[in-house]
Structure 1
Amino acid sequence: MKEHVPVSLLCLAVLAGCTVGPNFTRPDVPAGADYSQEKLPITASADVAAGGTAQRLVAGMDIPGQWWTLFRSPALNALVEEALRANPDVSAAQAALRQANELVYADQASLFPSVSGSASKTREKVSGVSTGTPSSPILTVNSASLSVSYAPDVFGGTRRQIESSTAQAEYERFQLEATYLTLTSNVVNTAVSLASVRDQIAATEEIIRLQSDQLDVLQAQRRLGAIGDTNVLTQETALAQTRATLPPLQKQLAQTRNQLMAYLGRFPNQDQGERFVLASLHLPEELPVSLPSAIVGQRPDVRSAQAQLHQASANIGVAIANQLPQFSITGSLGSTVASGTKLFSSGSGVWSLAGSITQPIFDAGALEHRKRAAVAAYDESAARYRSTVVAAFQDVANALRALESDADALNQQVAAERSAQASLALVQAQFRLGAVAYINLLTAQQTYQNTVVTRVQAQAARYSDTAALFQALGGGWWNRTDVDPATAGKPDRFGLPSWREVMPAHRTDAAADTSQLN
């Protein structure tokens, strides 16, 4: 005989599978979005050892997780690895991710029943007048019970809250990746800056040597009466001006090293003397350019914005569920006796079972306005997501344009330096023969000095903008597994405080670490 399922049970089953609010889907990249209207070029080469290599841009090429190794500098690789281990910002981001994951597990606990136990013993002296006895008896009551409470997630509000917490954990996950990417890029750029400043100092010192040699020649000519004091004084002024450019470069070098120490988690006095010159860094010859459709999945900032959008979407469902009936079931089972040894004996059992439904009727519109606020928060997150995607395309486009411009600039700057050097040598020879005036020599010296420093800066720009391209494309985090597994946590469904947490006499590791800093 066919059994008929009650309609009420069918309705409850349908409602139990219901999750109110919108289901999140990632917005699509607008059709036709790209980095440039032109095809990817092959950058120009320059006839110089450091940074003169032509670079080829390869569309769709994957990005290595340790992209900085493409510069082929063991010293640079060691610094980046040290920064990833020791930088406090990485530790903070790891802790934030661990916190977010633990909060997800805390919210997941709302899907399970809550069970608690209680035991009590009560002694009471009762007045004989009230009991009709000549004496005042002492009554003892022992009781023990087990209570269970459960809130069925009929409309999916709890599941939406878990979805929101999971999206928050996803946000922290990509904030961690953004920290990795920013840190590695900063270390590479700082190393390039150190190399650039050091090369500028070396070039300036070489110019000072040339100007000093020229001053010796002029002083010798003055002693012979061939020239007057004017030319000598002018050359001394030019030499002093060139020497005056050294202290700012040395200050920049020291401050850049201090910045590098901070990235490495060191104090300024812990400098171990790592040295970089541009010639020690290899310029990658093939550079990846991710497809426009892939950039939104690669950029940590875009993925973080996507997670925030997902969280805002889930919060709409939470707000809607709060406007609907809330269900709860509670029950208890126990025993109450006069003697503790007779607990749970025959006839001492007590139990209760209750179910309730609560429906908000009048709250002056508070819940409705909270729902509208959640919708507005979603609209805000959607706009910020679009802004982040646009900025991501802009960063890639800027890096590509910079690479092309830097290559052309270095090529022209190398040519200008060699021309200025040849011109200086010619003017020096003519000046010794008295064929040209001193002003021509001074002009040639200043021109050569400017071209040398500018050439070094142009070399450094190619390295820095190459690193900027890797950063703009996301840094290849998907090919790297350096996230601390401890950040995932674990869903312990039965957990009690440890002995060290219960006993205040025993300090926690965090307290011990804090005391060491004081």
Structure 2
Amino acid sequence: MKALLRHGLLGLALGALAACKTVGPDYRLPANAAINRPAAQGDFVDAAGRRGIDLAPVPGDWWKLYDDPLLDQLVRQALASNADLRAAGANLGKAYALYEEAQHAGGFTYGASASLDRAQLSGESYLQLHKLPVYNLGDAGLSVSYEFDLFGKLKRAAEAAGADAQASQAAVDLARIAVVARVAGTYMETCHANREIAVAGHSVALQQRSAEVAQRLYEAGRGTVTDATRARAQVDLLEASLPPLRARKKAAEYELAALLGQTPGQLPAGVDACGEAPALARPLPVGNGMALLQRRPDVRQAERELAAATARIGVAVAELYPDVQIGAGAGASGLLEDFGNAATRRWSIGPLIAWTFPSRSAHARVAAARAGADAALAHFDSVVLNALRETQTALETYAQDLDRQDDLRRARDEARDAAGQNRTLYRGGRTPYLASLDADRTLAAAEAQLADADSQISIDQVRLFLALGGGWKNQDGKAATATGANAATASHAD
């Protein structure tokens, strides 16, 4: 009867312990977070009605808007072979493995042991004054224990690990959009460099013909040596602009090869000879602030880091309370010839309560965890505000550069007409060579500036797509990973 009463009291005590509440705050996105502000979720400032900009949603595979098969091929190859994406994918696999470990912490633990010894025991350890004989000793047993997560320490640790894994997934997505943007940017840089080299070469050829005319006129007594010298100097100046353009093209090609997982010089056919960068056939889609903040991987990463930091408060608080386990074991220990007999059998069952009384250092760890969550919230707000700033800045820069491109195109057309007219007048002896030379210089400068403006437009578009967070999903709308890591779903903490 007494034994029954003791077991009943033990069961009641364990039941009361099991009813303890999970300590620490349950994660909720703070109401005062910057992402919840109405201004952060509306349309972008001055975006409506802006030339070259559409408020339609941003497609995941935005590079397909350029309708360039070679660009599509480069992006596919980079997503399959880029070293940075492989590293990010490996880190994601590690994060989910740690999450699996945290999920299965606690609960039942099983063990088994066995040993066989030939030994001589100390006689004096048994209060014997004579030497004991040599024995063959055996020991074997099984054990099982169960760790109660009474205060939610293991649950909070699993929540933190799950949020960390989701943050790692967002980091993979962030690496993906960066690689796509860099591939598109370096490919377009190569195309624009080829075009600018061609423009500069055309200007050199044009000026060489002008120099030949100036030389012939001088030899015929209708010009001066100064005109001929100036013409040759202008040729040299224009030729001096070619080496930097060639270097810029090679640098872009070397970077593109690295992004594709190749060594310098290993590029798909057609890249080196690209003479016209792909251009958008429609206004650039930008969506709105709400869609942006839902799409940007760095915003999702920062939010998941905030969730992990909140869960770690619970881990720190739970360490202030006892750890409770219940275990059982059975086996046999004794002389080998008697092994398994009743005299060698053993068993045990009972709870184990371990409690280190909270010290100032334990409370300091709780305070540190709370400060870490505050810092994570501040970082999250900073990432949100920076995402909006980057996008708004990229939008404004793109719109202004479109206006600049139009102005330069008109200036180029006018300079071309003026240069042709002055060249005709000079050859007819109706204007001095200096006037024709100035007109040719103006045309060469206008051509170069327009080519540079076209290049800047391509750069602006890629930067804007990058700021908008496009390119981290597959065509089916699902997040893409760089490796085959099993991305087990880690749900948000309630």
* TM-score over 0.5 (shorter chain): yes
Residues 33-432 of structure 1: matches in 2 within 5 Å? 33=40, 34=42, 36-43=44-51, 55-59=52-56, 61=57, 63-125=58-120, 137-273=133-269, 274-275=271-272, 277=274, 279=276, 281-339=278-336, 343-344=339-340, 348-361=344-357, 363=359, 365-432=360-427
Q: CA deviation at 1:399?
A: 2.3
Contact 2:25 2:314 (8 Å CA) reproduced: yes
**C-alpha contact (below 8 Å) 1:41/1:404 kept by paired residues:** no
Deviation, structure 1 residue 395: 1.7
**1:8: how far off?**
4.0
CA contact (8 A) 2:54 2:287 kept: no
CA distance in 2, matches of 1:205, 1:10: 87
Contact 2:176 2:471 in 1 (8 A): no
Q: Which amino acid aligns with 1:21?
A: G
Residues 206 and 475 of structure 1: CA distance in aligned 2, closer, same or farther (over 3 Å): same
Contact 2:88/2:171 (8 A) holds in 1? yes
Kept after mapping to 2: 8 A contact 1:65/1:477: yes
The equivalent residue for 2:481 is 483
- Residues of 2 paired with 1:311 and 1:304: CA distance? 11
Q: Is the 8 A contact 2:43 2:288 kept in 1?
A: no
Which of residues 456, 464, 468 is equivalent to 1:469?
A: 464
Q: What's the counterpart of residue 24 of structure 1?
A: 27
| Residues 192 and 276, structure 1, Cα contact 8 Å, conserved in 2 | no
Runs of 4+ in 1 over 6 A off after TM superposition: 4-7, 127-135
Say whether the 8 Å CA contact 2:45–2:392 is kept in structure 1: no
Query: TM-score, length-normalised on structure 2?
Result: 0.89
**For 1:212 and 1:135, how far apart are their aligned partners in 2?**
114
SS at structure 1 position matched to 2:142: strand
Q: 1:433 to 1:185 in 2, by over 3 A?
A: same
Following superposition, the deviation at residue 66 of structure 1 comes to 2.0
Gaps of 5+ in 1: 44-54, 492-518
Once the two structures are overlaid, the 10-residue window that deviates more, 223-232 or 66-75, is 66-75
Query: What's the Cα RMSD here?
Result: 2.6
Give the drift of 1:401. 1.5
1:51 maps to: none
Query: Once the 2 structures are TM-superposed, how far is the Cα of residue 256 of structure 1 from its aligned partner?
Result: 1.4
Deviation digits for residues 35-58 of structure 1, max 9, x if unmatched?
644352242xxxxxxxxxxx3402
- Whether the 8 Å CA contact 1:100–1:169 is kept in 2: the answer is yes
Once the two structures are TM-superposed, the CA of residue 382 in structure 1 deviates from its matched residue by 0.8
**Inter-partner Cα distance in structure 2 for 1:315 and 1:132:** 56
Query: How far apart, in 2, do the equivalents of 1:177 and 1:370 lie?
Result: 33
Distance change in 2, residues 1:35/1:465 (3 Å):
farther
Structure-2 residue corresponding to 1:503:
none
TM-score by length of 1: 0.85
Deviates more, 1:146-155 or 1:460-469: 460-469
**Cα distance between partner residues in 2 of 1:489 and 1:300:** 16
The answer to whether structure 1 residue 14 and structure 2 residue 19 are counterparts is yes
Does the Cα contact within 8 Å between 1:298 and 1:476 map onto a contact in 2? no
Q: Identity, % of aligned pairs?
A: 27
Q: Cα–Cα, structure 1 residues 64 and 404, in superposed 2: closer, same or farther, change >3 Å?
A: same
Q: Distance in 1 between matches of 2:230 and 2:122?
A: 117
1:291 CA displacement: 2.7
Q: 1:406 to 1:480 in 2, by over 3 A?
A: farther
Counterparts in 2 of 1:290 and 1:207: CA distance versus 1, 3 Å? same
Contact 1:65 1:480 in 2 (8 A): no
Native 8 Å contact 2:18 2:148 kept in 1: no
